[in-house]
Structure 1
Amino acid sequence: MGAIKIKPEFLSFGAEVKRLRLAAGLSQQQLADLVHVTRSYVAQVESGRTRCRRDFALRLDRALKSGVALVVAWDELLESIKSDKYPEFFANFPKAEQSATMLRAYEERVVHGLFQIEAYARILLNDDDALKNRLRRQEVLNRNPVPAVTVVMDETVLYREVGGKEVMKEQLEFLIQLSEREKTNIQIAPIQYIRNVWATFVIATLPDLRQVVYTAKAYGGETSSAPDDVALVNETMSALQAEALNVKDSRALIRRVIDEKWS
């Protein structure tokens, strides 16, 4: 049998893992113990013989106290290979989000991630690195030029307590502030059945008008730029906006919920 061909991108990522591990003074076994995998798996990643998941890169960064060095390296790896023979759902949504000219989303349980205040996000994430990543993502709202952002949220989001009354009041007040921005639209969907709405999602429209969609799953999420997937999510978004309150009425509802429940 011939030698296994290792992609140079995998080799480069693995070399960075090894460099940071050695800088931290850890053996492969010690690192494996910290991230709860086998030593052989760490060896495979370092040798470029396997491509780990992004959440594993984040776990490595935490264990090695390397900030987001390996997450950034993983994103760069994926950017370089996503045009190869990998399925389209491996496309990198975080980068798509940061470069988008328009973002549209639906949330059914909690406030949309880009709109969460720190106190609210901290309750949900309960992890300093994840919180920093969440807050870093939100910088897109202050980018110049700022993207057009439209988010439909289920009405139950306004009533579901996260962090106590003070946190909820501050969070909903912030939603009102955001909704008054020129390019930010927040709509509330009444509590009712809406056909074909089964999961939360985000649609990112890129400068070249390509679209990438991210759909939440029970275990992580899936990113796709496949035409059928993009068309389905766009259709779902249209249905949601048709049923949701307009921006002005949504703002009035948020204010009423603050006054009646969280003040």
Structure 2
Amino acid sequence: MQRIKPEFQSFGAEVRRLRKAAGLNQQRLADLVNVTRSYITQVECGRTRCRRDLALRLDRALKSGTTLAEAWDELLESIKSDKYPEFFANFPRAEQSASMLRSYEDRVVYGLFQSEAYARVLLNDDDALKNRMRRQEILNRLPAPSITGVMDETVLYREVGGKTVMREQLERLLELSEMSNLNLQVAPIRYIRNVWATFTIATLPDQRQVVYTAKAYGGETSSSPPHVALANEAMATLQAEALNVRDTRALIRRVIEERWT
């Protein structure tokens, strides 16, 4: 079986994101750039590398400036040097091509798990909200990534948007916890060794890893082996200390009943 290069997969994810943002289906985009729909499918899935002239035509059809042309140039350089392109350091793009995602949140619900009403309170910006909701399409991607989310128990009690919003959000968590590719765990309110900040680890199809760590001024993306190792150690500790999936569901149901009903 041919191995899909993560660079191609990331480029394809960007094509798919821009196509959906433009409100086009694959057939319409194929017609606009004079290729077959199946070829657009192959590009979006990372099974083929398109020519640069197609990247330019895609930019024109999607009204995306030079976004895809620049991504294509970076992809070519990455193949020559066996390094990831610069745009791949952008964590949301790494997230979209990941085969496994593991996250820890200590203040609010993980972005991929947020209900629209909950996210709207946090973001207070229509474009940012649309991007947040678009990111969640990864939950139903085929093949689906394996996703583990650990959150501090205080997240269940921290009010965001009022009782109705919180009840809907926790019910959303229960729904997500039933997905076969998703593990949801709650870490009890206690000190946990070597856990100092929220973070997400994206494991790419070739098993390389990228970690995003939240900072007071925004966040930091790194593929440095020491940084990745620290994040993996923290995640292992968190999962050992956290409630299992079944007990997590029971706790969420109890919090809904006792606090948000």
TM-score after normalising by structure 2: 0.69
Rounded to whole Å, the distance in 2 between the matches of 1:157 and 1:181 is 21
Rounded to whole Å, the distance in 1 between the matches of 2:180 and 2:91 is 25
Shift of 1:95: 1.2
Q: Secondary structure of the residue that 1:245 maps to in structure 2? A: coil
Shift of 1:193: 0.6
Q: Secondary structure of the residue that 1:181 maps to in structure 2? A: coil
Residues 186, 247 of structure 1: 8 Å contact kept: yes
Q: Secondary structure of the residue that 2:200 maps to in structure 1? A: strand
Alignment of 1:79-118 (within 5 A): 79-80=74-75, 91-118=89-116
Q: Secondary structure of the residue that 1:103 maps to in structure 2? A: strand
Rounded to whole Å, the distance in 1 between the matches of 2:126 and 2:179 is 29
Please name the residue that 1:133 is paired with: 131
Rounded to whole Å, the distance in 2 between the matches of 1:73 and 1:155 is 41
TM-score after normalising by structure 1: 0.69
Cα displacement string for residues 112-160 of structure 1 (whole angstroms, at most 9, x for unaligned residues):
0000010000000000111111111110001011111000000000000
Shift of 1:110: 0.4
Rounded to whole Å, the distance in 1 between the matches of 2:88 and 2:137 is 24
Structure 1 pair 125/73, CA: closer, same or farther in 2 (3 Å)? Answer: farther
**Structure of higher CA gyration radius:** 1
Shift of 1:76: 2.9
Across the aligned residues of Structure 1 and Structure 2, the Cα RMSD in angstroms comes to: 2.7
Cα displacement string for residues 219-243 of structure 1 (whole angstroms, at most 9, x for unaligned residues):
1111111111111100000010010
Shift of 1:69: 3.8
The runs of at least 4 aligned residues of structure 1 exceeding 4 Å deviation read 70-75, 77-90
Alignment of 1:1-263 (within 5 A): 69=64, 72=67, 76=71, 79-80=74-75, 91-263=89-261
Amino acid in the other structure paired with 1:217 = K
Percent of aligned pairs sharing the same letter: 72
Amino acid in the other structure paired with 1:204 = A
Rounded to whole Å, the distance in 2 between the matches of 1:217 and 1:74 is 31
Structure 1 pair 256/166, CA: closer, same or farther in 2 (3 Å)? Answer: same
Rounded to whole Å, the distance in 1 between the matches of 2:127 and 2:171 is 26
Rounded to whole Å, the distance in 1 between the matches of 2:63 and 2:150 is 31
